Structure 1
Amino acid sequence: MKTWLMLVCSCLLLFGCNKEEYVDESQGVYPETFEAETEDFRYELYVSQNTFSYGQPIDIIASLTYIGDEEEIVISHAASPFYFPMKETTRAYDIDYPMNQPLVSTTLKKDEPLTKQYVPSGSYSDEDSEEYRSFMEQFLAGNYPVGNYIVNGSVQFNVDNSPININGNIGFQVK
């Protein structure tokens, strides 16, 4: 019965709570925060502000909070349950978020958020254009090039072998 209930909750999560925030790229309007709640979990994704100057530190943080009935719950996930792939829309560059894929278990205590701050990541190769390589070198050094960024954040984990995936978008500009 518990497995069936988890399957139903997972389906509701995947189809009912996987909303995406609207980002109006043409107007430069970006939501700074995203929050989604299921019966047992709350996922939050936020950036400290929506406009930055070149070279200014950019804080992007995600959190997952267990809000269910138990005192704690064990989740399993890759190296982290948090993903931060981005798109720089001025140049139409996709910035991937590579991650090791071991199976890790984390115990979440009720109402105590698990948080992760984004650290610039991504990759490029000799086959990429010189412009893209230069962009990624600046980006990976923490100097986000001038442009518009959308963070396609998500939290992905399993509870009792039932997958849970919550997605949300936030954005910011670098001037």
Structure 2
Amino acid sequence: MVVIFTVVFLLVGCSRDEKPNEHNVKESPIRSNANTVAEGDFVYRLVSEKSVYTESEKVVVYAELEYVGDEPEIKIAHADSPFYFPLKEKTRNYDIRYGMKEPVRVTVLKKGIPLREIFKPRGGYGSEDQKEYVDYIKALWEASNKGTLLNGDYQIVGSAMFNPLNESMVSQESLCLNAEIEFLVEKPKNKE
């Protein structure tokens, strides 16, 4: 139980509301449709397969976490997933929240084999949000169910947040690796 409480405490300490560069936050200054950040024995990648999509095209964005240390494998503790994908639609100036359940899960990372998760918007809205925002989120859900997104200029400041565990399953220092990508979704051009 002590180990579980320690892991939960450390995961909460690595929340999205923290100040930059606390808890080993590593941010990459590169702004593109693919970005890689390395910290110690871990490599975090955030990738959009294209920099420009059309509204009818499937948007493929994913995150990877790879262990590159000396051991054949390592266990990490994290929330429902180690990956967070908060989204900003810059044309409309909408911040699309990214909610996640926060049970403590343990995942085994094998050396050189990336753990990958495909992005899917999880935005929500509250009773105090404006009607335009609520309508946008509902349309975004509908589009994302088809694997597409609405037209716009998107930015993701994604994170891998986790706690490496030692052989005794005791949590080590929490890590938060951040990477930023951008991509466009355009309306299809009329053929003349």
1:14 matched to which residue of 2?
24
Counterpart CA distance in 2 for 1:156 and 1:146 is 29
Counterpart CA distance in 1 for 2:22 and 2:130 is 42
What SS does the aligned partner of 2:108 have?
A: strand
Paired residues in the alignment total 156
1:4 matched to which residue of 2?
none
User: How far did 1:167 drift?
Assistant: 0.3
Counterpart CA distance in 2 for 1:13 and 1:97 is 20
Contact 1:32–1:172 (CA under 8 A) maintained in structure 2: yes
Contact 2:42–2:66 (CA under 8 A) maintained in structure 1: yes
> Structure 1 43/116 Cα, relative in aligned 2: closer, same or farther at 3 Å?
same
Counterpart CA distance in 2 for 1:53 and 1:120 is 17
Runs of 4+ in 1 over 2 A off after TM superposition: 19-23
2:160 matched to which residue of 1?
155
Give per-residue Cα distances to partners, 1:15-52, cap 9 Å, x unaligned: 6xx133354xxxxxxx0101011220111110010111
User: How far did 1:125 drift?
Assistant: 2.8
User: How far did 1:93 drift?
Assistant: 0.5
Per mean C-alpha deviation after superposition, the further-off stretch among 46-55 and 97-106 is 46-55
1:3 matched to which residue of 2?
none
2:132 matched to which residue of 1?
131
1:83 matched to which residue of 2?
84
Segments of 5+ residues of structure 2 without an aligned counterpart are: 1-20, 166-170, 187-192
Contact 2:24–2:174 (CA under 8 A) maintained in structure 1: no
Contact 1:46–1:61 (CA under 8 A) maintained in structure 2: yes
2:149 matched to which residue of 1?
144
Segments of 5+ residues of structure 1 without an aligned counterpart are: 1-10, 24-30
1:68 matched to which residue of 2?
69
Contact 1:21–1:34 (CA under 8 A) maintained in structure 2: no
Contact 1:13–1:38 (CA under 8 A) maintained in structure 2: no
Name the TM-score, length of structure 2 as normaliser. Answer: 0.76
2:11 matched to which residue of 1?
none
User: How far did 1:131 drift?
Assistant: 1.1
